[in-house]
Structure 1
Amino acid sequence: MSPIADNLTGTAENRTTDWLFGTSTTAPTLPLKMALTTANGSDASAGTEVTGGSYARENITVAAAVNGSVSNSADLVFDGMPACTVVGWEIWDSAGTPIRWSYGLFDASKTVAAGDELKVEAGGWMWTSS
């Protein structure tokens, strides 16, 4: 057997499977938000999220999937970053207690100085189910 996706959290895998087989229709609470991490997480635990400066998670929008893949349809701009090296990302929903749905590494680490802007240009992030 192959996994649904290597970068879905355990919660996302269970909810997707429940939806597919009709046992639940619980969807993420929109909007989805991208978080930046300085250490990558795993299926079971979140990574180390950036903190400090004016950093805040950014809303992410995607177009309909093509061949099991989606990418951000607009720039994601993280203003007022703290000094850090960003290695990855996580996708969270907007529930009262947010749920982490997916995670992964950027192709290359991004080092920023205090006050810098970090931009993920439209189409610069991609999630794929295979």
Structure 2
Amino acid sequence: MADNLTNTAENRVLDWINGLSATAPTTPLKVALVTANGDDATAGTEVVGGSYARQNLTVAAAVSGATSNSADLVWSGMPVATVVGVEVWDSAGSPVRLWYGPLSASRTVAAGDELRLTAGSLDLAIA
């Protein structure tokens, strides 16, 4: 998801680089699935229903300005949905959306299905 930082995340990165504030997000970071993609300023439409819940994201240290999920992300008991993208949120009391982006291909799931993003398939990069 190169160049898919939200405006909020971009501002936090700039503030950190310029020494203006401590900007670490509240962990763990969470991955949300969306049925309509958002943009820099507006969140997408998150999946609801079934046993769907945001999943914890683990990543390896960045190399050359990029990293990816270091463990599979698994959503069990999905509702009927066509998932078109993902978003990464922190775990603050009022969660902050940090990343967003489309899947390489939409995934349609039936009630009770599992959706899995394998380790290494969710790329996060600063371009």
TM-score (norm 1): 0.95
Q: Which runs of 5+ in 2 are unaligned?
A: none
**What secondary structure does 1:12 align onto?**
helix
Deviations 1:21-60 (A, max 9, x none): 0111121000000000000001101000000000000000
Aligned-residue identity in percent: 67
- Pairing partner for 2:21 from 20, 24, 28: 24
Question: Is this contact kept in 1: 2:3–2:125, CA < 8 A?
Answer: no
Please list, as runs of the form range in 1=range in 2, the aligned pairs for 1:1-130 lying within 5 A after superposition. 6-130=3-127
Offset at residue 110 of structure 1 (A): 0.7
Which stretches of structure 1, 4 residues or longer, exceed 2 Å deviation after superposition? none
Q: What is the Cα-based RMSD across aligned positions, in Å?
A: 0.8
- Residue aligned with 1:17, SS: helix
TM-score, normalised with respect to structure 2: 0.97
- Deviations along 1:83-125, one digit per CA (max 9) or x if unpaired, are 1110000000000110000100111111100100000011111
Gaps of 5+ in 1: none
